[in-house]
Amino acid sequence: MTKRRSFLALSGMLLFTNPLKILSKGILSSKNQSLNTRFFRKDELENELAKSTDRYLPFLNVDKLRTGLYVLPKGAEDKQQPHAHDEVYYILNGKGKFIADNEVNNVKEGAVLYVKSHIEHRFYDIEEELKILVFFSNMA
């Protein structure tokens, strides 16, 4: 299967299936390892992030895609700034609001959000801890 077809297959699975099952089966790959394939488990990523004071854990970096786990506790302030690359958020769980380009959306488990590069955006009014799978394009 070509890289493009693999990416499209993964994208389709994320949109039409439960991404937690995908993560637990380890379908994502990483160039940071000397392997062609790398497996990730959601619980292991959460544990690794919990050991640090950071809210974001990058865990995948391939030619055209970077992925990470972003956690915002209830009531937290999201201090992120606009990014140089397009971005997709998949809300794994939690509840809050999201503003991008002056458009407000309520977000909860299952929401998928797209933000074009250089657009101001942030999560706010976080009612329940948000766990977010983040996908960045590495393409300029």
Write down all domains in the chain, each with its CATH number in brackets: 3-137 (2.60.120.10)
Q: pLDDT (tens digit, 9 = 90+) per residue, 24-41?
A: 334 343 444 445 788 899
Q: Return d(Cα 72, Cα 129) in angstroms, integer.
A: 6
- How many CB atoms neighbour CB 9 within 10 A? 12
Q: pLDDT (tens digit, 9 = 90+) per residue, 62-111?
A: 888 899 999 999 999 999 999 899 999 999 999 999 999 999 999 999 99
* pTM (two decimals): 0.72
Choose among 53, 54, 58: nearest CA to 68.
58
